[in-house]
Chains A and B, each alone.
Chain A
Amino acid sequence: MTVTTDTVVATSSRRRRRPVSHMVPWLFISPWIIGFVAFTLGPMLFSLYMSFFDWPIVGERTFIGLDNYVTMTTLDPQFWESLWITVKFALLFVPLNIAVGFLLALLLNAGLKGTGVLRTLFYLPSVISGVALVTIFSWLYSYRFGVLNYLLGFVGIDGPNWLGDPSWALVAIVFASLWGVGSTMLILLAGLQAIPRELYEAARISGVPAWARTLYITLPMLGPMLLFSIITSIISAFQQLTLALLLTEGGPLGSTYFFAMYIYDNAFKYFDMGYAAAMSWIMFGIVLLLSLAVMKSSSAWVHYEGEVRGKKGDKS
């Protein structure tokens, strides 16, 4: 029966189809393709092209081959310095972002009262624009008039000059970045809610204590969500720009001069587009390698559920 129908459809469409009809599907997806080529793929390839040039924003451009790459890795201490600051930031930010997101998700999944309100409150900061965030945090972190040091004063702590002290500025930015933990939390919360309740009940009956249920059931079952969150956290750590640019301007003493900020300065302060483009490609390569490494390691710790979950059927 099916075969016959298919044949009929095939013949009739072959008879009717004119060459132009091949274009129709492409027409439908063309807005996306045009956007992608014009605003993502195009600029990317163009920046790769640029990276082989001495390309001032005005004036003569000169092809210099791999010179930009050679210069930054051998003659530019600022390149390594800013890269190291970014790595330090990522080392602090990624684990904290995952840990805080996980703990908040656990809290929201505990079935306490007011969970719906808390969920919204925790997620709300994630949708606040970067500039508003900077304004809020400059008030919080202000040395003499800041809310944070005011509160610390109550417990007898003389708070540091968060944004003015080179040893605290990076930490201050890490904590400010955690403001966006809501999206990680939401992903992990969705993961938590997909874990079948019976797994915990079976563990309870076997006398598995709560900490072990979290460690040996919850964490492994969250594997795919954790993997996703770690990779997106790494990417956002390396892209960190807004907070440093507006909150500390890279200071004090260059202690928050992130890699992305150095790229930004090369492009729009020193107008050395070729150099900035080359740096961007280095960053792209680093993020790509890190992501691949995490993905590769995931086969050891991420478990993908290939089985059908227990039917949530009608039960008495």
Chain B
Amino acid sequence: MDLMVRNLRKSFGAVEVLRDIDFHIHAGEFVCFLGPSGCGKSTLLRCIAGLEEIDDGEIRLGGREIDHLPSAKRDISMVFQSYALYPHMTVAKNMSFGLRLNGMPRDEVDRRIAHAAQVLQIEPLLGRKPKALSGGQRQRVAIGRAIVREPSLFLLDEPLSNLDAALRVTMRAELAALHARLGTTMVYVTHDQVEAMTLSSRVVVLDKGSVSQFGPPMELFHRPANLFVAGFIGTPQMNFLPARLLRAHQDRVEVEVEGAPGALSVPLAAPVRLAPGAPLTLGVRPDALTLGLEAGPQVAAKVTLVERLGTESHVLLARPDGTRLTAITDAPRLPGPGATVTAGFAPEAVHLFDETGRALPRCVSPEIAALLDSAPSTAAMAAEKVTEEV
């Protein structure tokens, strides 16, 4: 079912932790809430779950207003970061506990547990207690307990963060497959952008309690709406340089980057209304920052560290004013630490942000534009396929 959140507001005492939260998640979608620690993503999830009361706004699931209902009546399941398995109950009991207490007939409970156990491949574990399980197995049981409720919406609160790196990758793939199989709407909280980018059809990026951007992963990467999203999505981080508007044309602007003589003519998707001289921030991803470029404006910087990763190398630079830059290159011969180099950037690879941090409409290449226009993630596509089959 679709989940609609409108003008949600939540404070803890005098601290407003969520404000003007507004989004609409379609039925069957896999959406991540992504943001740094303290951005309010877990609180938002708990508000949807009914574990926290909201101060204002509304939450609708499948058109039904649920924000005033107790958690149990919201038709949701939640998977906790700590798994929250009942340690004194067996796996089967963990999954059946809530169902039995709600008066579900025994054979229906058994059917659901058998089904969930089969989907998650935990049949041999049903008689065990949580302490006899590995982290990954506990994770599966926690998911199993959520599945047996057959809810309209799954809420997952950083479910993979307690697993080791290798297991996280495996479980990530399994979660995507599970979503494809169940076709149920899933909302997933994470601070890990790789999880968000790979799993979700769309991502809600949260910053200091409000939605910074809501869109498909590639949209966030190629057309970040503001400085926060630009800096948060992508590893290593986007490089930022102070710049100034020289002239605004219909489909392009001419900007001057501080410390880089010459004008850079950046194409735009739509005209902007900014006065010449307006301060801007220029963003360029590390892979688009080219060392020793011949043409165009360039900035000078000193190499501080070279990290060779095999297929590529990260060159860390410091400008005379202290700004740090990172360049990714696959060139085999690199300047050593201490060397002064020049770094340039192609105009079409550049992101521009105005004084308030909002992005100027970026003109992307036709290939990327095609990708962005037709780009539900693989998980979403799989989900659609399953829904069609059903």
Contact = CB atoms under 8 A, between A and B. Distances in A.
Interface of A: 196, 198-199, 201-209, 212, 216-217, 220-221, 223, 303, 305-307, 309-311, 313-316
Nearest to A221: B88
A312 B224 CA distance: 32
B82 A198 contact: yes
Interface stretch (B97-105, B254-262, B294-302, B321-329): B97-105
Nearest to B87: A305
Contacts of B76: 205
A201 to B, nearest CB: 5
A315 B17 CA distance: 13
B283 interface: no
B342 interface: no
A203 B77 CA distance: 11
A202 B80 contact: yes
A205 B72 contact: yes
Given A204-B70, A206-B72, A208-B97, A310 B84 contact: yes
Contacts of B80: 198, 201-202, 310
B37 A315 contact: yes
Contact of A311 (B40, B49, B50, B82): B82
Given A202-B145, A205-B76, A310-B82, A316 B71 contact: no
A108 B78 CA distance: 28
A316 B40 contact: yes
Interface of A is mostly: loop
A45 B215 CA distance: 80
Interface residues of B, number: 42
Given A205-B50, A206-B98, A303-B88, 6 more contacts: A202-B86, A205-B72, A216-B101, A306-B131, A307-B131, A315-B37
Nearest to A205: B71
B217 interface: no
Contact of B84 (A196, A216, A220, A311): A196
15 contacts: A196-B84, A204-B72, A205-B49, A206-B97, A207-B72, A207-B102, A208-B97, A305-B87, A306-B131, A307-B87, A311-B82, A313-B81, A316-B36, A316-B38, A316-B41
Contacts of B83: 310
B81 A310 contact: yes
A208 B98 contact: yes
Nearest to B98: A206
Nearest to B94: A202
B359 to A, nearest CB: 24
B162 A316 contact: no
B138 to A, nearest CB: 8
